[in-house]
Amino acid sequence: MIGSVIGTYRVTACLGTGGMGTVYQGVDVMLDRPVAIKVLKPELVANPQLIERFRTEAVLLGKLNHPNIATLYGFLPIGNQQFAMVMEFLPGTSLETLLQQRGAMPLPMAVPLFSGVLDAIGHAHRQGIIHRDIKPSNVMVLPDGTPKVMDFGIARALGSSHQTRVGAIVGTLEYMSPEQIQGKETDARSDIYSLGILLYEMLTGRVPFAADSEYALLQAHIQASPPPPRVFTPDIPEIVAQVVLRALEKDPNRRFQTAGEFKLALVAATTPSLAAIPSDVRVALSLSGTSNGLTSPICPPPSPSPAASKMLPPFHQTALPPSPVVATKSSDVWLKVIAWSLAGVAALVFVLATLAYVWVHRGGAVPESRTPAASQPPSHEEAISLPPATNTALPPPERDPLEVPPPSRSDPPGVLIPDVLPPRSGGVISPEPPSTSEEVAPKKQPPKRTGKDQSGVSERERRRRKALEALDQ
């Protein structure tokens, strides 16, 4: 097998052999990346049930995409009724090897590793897949400390038909749940039980149940209570031990219902602020139980010491402060509706006021053609339609004979022609002596209209008024 080429993958070395197949190390000749190639043992190729289970593992693994789960690259046929599963190559050490080398892990090291495993199994559960074979040998720890869950060989999709015969036990006995041993229907809570045993082993260095025979081991899982983890590792906090024991409950309804709930309880139990609370005044941490409303505490509330009893008053004598009134969602909705309504009314009033202002100052103004200026002369048509003027003009006012009228447009500049001539004497007009600059200087005042000009203006104004009255009629 070593040196052969499967598709675009070349087999380079053998990594190990399991119960059903062999895992080889290879390289993708097209992408130049290392891969792991898993194939069935030659003696198992003739078993159609094992071939179908091998294909089911590839199908289920192809549906999962999570940083804590080994990635599937492809599923290729090789030879007659033989297949190869190409997966992500994971350099590192299995969790089983780490536990054999160092034994129990300290809490700061065990909790981050186990949290990654919980994230991976929780992702599989949300995709409707249960692992059914969670154990340390199926968890790889990369050099940077990232855990990777592998081997979904006996995993099953929820609601799918069973591939094993009735009464057969599938899995590893040390990590199997009671309902899995009894052949009952399994779900995500069976993986929660196996995860509890895995955490128990990581904190204590051993599994909770050990027996000389398989039968005794199966009976221990079904009937016996696991010893508290503090019996083997006394420095484990009590609240952490209670989290582990809750995951190992015989009744699935009393366990954590999801991997996320398990992680939440573990993180809360290992928070430094909670661990610093004295045991005699620690409040029992309660987590939601089954979906039917069952709520059970992780650990029973400890009885307070005499010193704590003196410091703390009895609960029934302590008056609780009234709870503040919290606005409901419906009231918030009504407040928003009222606010938007007021804003709409204000916008409408603003628009109406703007339109009224524009209409008054633009649309309602009197056109300039209806109010002609007094100094504008009448047009030719108006002059024809006007009635003849009557001899009712007022006599012109008396004028000073020495007053000089303003120069007309046709007069040359600097020449002043008097409007009124002096009286004749002997038939000869005696011209006025030329005026000097001193005499012209005071005549810079604006000239006054003569009686003839004022009569003409009043006559034209009277004609214009009569024309406007005729138009209005």
- Which residues in 212-246 are b (16+ Cβ under 10 Å) and which e? eeeeebbebbeeeebebbbeebeebebbbbbbbbb
Q: Is 133 known to be catalytic? A: yes
443 annotated to a ligand binding site: no
Sign of CA dihedral 42, 43, 48, 52: negative
Residue 200: which of 171, 239, 241 has the closest Cα? 241
Residue 209's nearest CA partner among 218, 251, 135 is 218
Residues 6 or more apart whose CB falls under 8 angstroms from that of 293 comprise none
Give me the sign of the Cα torsion angle 342, 347, 350, 356: negative
Cβ atoms of residues 197 and 207 within 8 Å: yes
Q: Name the token pair of 416.
A: 């002043």
- Residues 68, 120: contact at Cβ < 8 Å? yes
DSSP 383-423: HHHSPPPPS-PPPPPP--TTPPPPP-TTSPTT----SSPPP
Note every long-range contact of 371-378, with CB atoms under 8 Å and residues 24 or more positions apart, other chains counting: 372/464, 374/457, 374/461, 377/460, 378/460, 378/463, 378/464, 378/467
Please say whether the beta carbons of 57 and 152 come within 8 A: yes
Distance CA 243, CA 252 (A): 15
Give the whole-angstrom CA distance, residue 12 versus residue 140.
21
**Residue in 202, 258, 193 with CA at minimum distance from that of residue 226:** 193
CA distances from residue 153 to 98, 119, 148, 166, 439 in whole angstroms, order as listed: 23, 19, 15, 19, 131
Q: How many CB atoms lie within 10 A of CB 306?
A: 8
Annotated catalytic residue within 119, 133, 151, 191? 133
Report the b/e string of 376-395 with b at 16+ CB within 10 A: eebeeebeeebeeeeeeeee
The catalytic residue positions are 133
- Binding site for ATP: residue ranges? 38
- Binding site: residue ranges? 38
